[in-house]
Amino acid sequence: MTYILGIETSCDETAAAIVKDGTTIVSNVVASQIDSHKRFGGVVPEVASRHHVEQITLVIEQALTEAGLTPKQLDAVAVTEGPGLVGALLIGIQAAKAFAFAHQLPLIGVHHIAGHIYANALENPMEFPLLSLVISGGHTELIVMQQDGHFEKIGETRDDAAGEAYDKVARVLSLPYPGGPHIDRLAEQSDGAVEFPRVWLEEGSYDFSFSGLKSAVINYQHNLQQKGQEINPSHVAAGFQQSVVEVVVEKTRRAAEEYGVKQVIAAGGVAANKGLRSALEATFEKQGIPFYVPSLPLCTDNAAMIAAAGYSKLIAGERSDYAMNGRPGMPLTSWTRL
Amino acid sequence: MIWLGIDTSNTPLSVTLVDEGRVLIEHTDSFPSTHSVAAMPAIERIMKEAGITPNQLDAIAVAKGPGSYTGIRIGMTLAKTLAWSLEIPVYPVSSLAVLAAPGKWFSGITVSIMDARRQHVFAGVYQEQQPLLERHLAFDELLAFLHEQDQPVFWCGQDVQKFTEAIAASGFVSHFAGLAEQLPRASELVALAQHSEPAPDIHTLTPDYLRLTEAEVNWMKANE
Ligand SMILES: [Zn+2]
């Protein structure tokens, strides 16, 4: 049995978890700072970093206590190395170094997005080749994994991440932060939808662009305002969501077909979006390709996913050293096994 | 009793091992390196060279701020996590007091400063090592405070160089820390920690930023 302590502090969640053999969650602790950032309308990096220092040893202790394990029973420490907010990443990294040094354990730096992908390993065995749609507040990417530890990015957003677009449109509609779940809920209950454009980019491209869609929503609101009319927030939310979902689902479907994958998995906070999730489920059921989305607590940022991804590195014999730095712009390809 | 001392408050990095009043080893540098990269390897290296294993440590002293926000967080996170992991106490000490250590035999007023930009500083003012002031303030405000004390002043810290003209113009009887005394020394940090109290709870221990974040200041202004 291999027990890995995972630590994640890339944004506004301070998280620690213990995972057995890369597949079984033994404990999974997340201290969210969202209440603290709400008043600022978004995550303030300096505030996030300060909270991480207050929480870090507490969440690690809680992860050990809930697991009923002592540090001596652990086999490695895995920590998010990047991407993320640099000041926030550093807290998890320094804590991981100190813990690893104190207990003389191997240290493993983990790519945050790889973590989101490996979150699936905690619920379903991963089968390769695999296509992953990584969709969150910071990312919208299509990644092909021909085998364990290998990542090929075939498409990504050229401007806003999908989650960012959700937050911006939510602001236009005066919905509270974070806006994604509110738009999803409004769209689900709506009895109509405004028609917004779909952005497909060049033929065959797997890239995304959401900034034009966001502008279309803002223009629509301005036009109505000038005519002295009120917008219907549900119709706007539904129209926006339909546009995002249609493009994302279609590009994911085409990619799955082109690369002949055995599995499609969605990862990241926006993967929890009900409208997107059900559209993906329906599409891949028709295609006959197994499709998985981690359960909600594993979609959003957590440390179990970091431990799960760390396991893949540990068994491959890869280690990090005490000079590990936070890498805010760390490319996923740099984490590919050589 | 073996102490590990860590100061990463500003550009200088200083780590030390002290055993029963004897400095076993100390590493101090002040080139612009990244503490997030260099601090832990420096600790590992001095421990290896001194032949000390982690479980031989009895206490940790850490410079708790003020200083660079990222810098003080790195030292504090390392200190907290090591101390909690090893089940030993951690002693937080003012980074300004560490910087002012060279003035401990000076009979007047010892002042340590860190440049905080826009004519502001983090300043510590001490008499016989007792703090009269430790806060973030305008340099002019600091000069006004020193005027009231009406005593000779001993200036500490590398950033004093940035204020030499204003200091000369102030008319104080001023003395300046020498070249080697300008750096914060982790051994001085441990010496100060030995006369202070350990943190009552390691988990809730945080740096002393001595300043709110900009977002909080703006939010408070908007909600007054
Ligand atoms: Zn994430």
How far apart, in whole angstroms, are the C-alpha atoms of residue B173 and residue B150? Answer: 9
Distance B64 CA to ligand 1 centre (A): 30
pLDDT band, very low/low/confident/very high, at A43 (cuts 50, 70, 90)? confident
How far apart, in whole angstroms, are the C-alpha atoms of residue A265 and residue A288? Answer: 14
- Measure A128 CA to nearest chain B CA, in Å: 36
Distance A136 CA to ligand 1 centre (A): 6
Mean pLDDT over A267-273 rounds to 90
Q: What is the pLDDT of residues B6-51, one digit of tens each?
A: 999 999 999 999 998 899 999 999 988 899 999 999 999 999 999 9
* Class at the top of the CATH hierarchy for domain B2-95+184-222: alpha beta
How far apart, in whole angstroms, are the C-alpha atoms of residue A244 and residue B35? Answer: 42
Domain ranges in chain A are: 3-118+298-315, 128-293
- Measure B175 CA to nearest chain A CA, in Å: 37
* Class at the top of the CATH hierarchy for domain A128-293: alpha beta
Q: What is the pLDDT of residues A133-173, one digit of tens each?
A: 999 888 899 999 999 999 999 999 999 999 999 999 999 89
Calculate the dihedral angle through the C-alpha atoms of B149, B153, B155, B161, rounding to the nearest 10 degrees: 100
Answer yes or no: do A57 and B69 touch at CB < 8 A.
Answer: no
**CATH topology match: A3-118+298-315 vs A128-293:** yes
Domain ranges in chain B are: 2-95+184-222, 96-181
Identify the CATH assignment for A3-118+298-315 out of 3.40.50.300, 3.40.50.11540, 3.30.2130.10, 3.30.420.40: 3.30.420.40
Q: What is the pLDDT of residues B85-108, one digit of tens each?
A: 999 999 999 999 999 999 999 999
Distance A34 CA to ligand 1 centre (A): 14
**Comparing C-alpha atoms, which of A303, A332, A295 is closest to residue A11?**
A303
Mean pLDDT over A272-301 rounds to 94
How far apart, in whole angstroms, are the C-alpha atoms of residue A244 and residue A72? Answer: 48
DSSP B161: G
A138 marked ligand binding residue:
yes
Mean pLDDT over A169-188 rounds to 91
pTM beyond 0.90: yes
Identify the CATH assignment for B96-181 out of 1.10.10.60, 3.30.420.40, 3.40.50.2300, 3.30.2350.10: 3.30.420.40
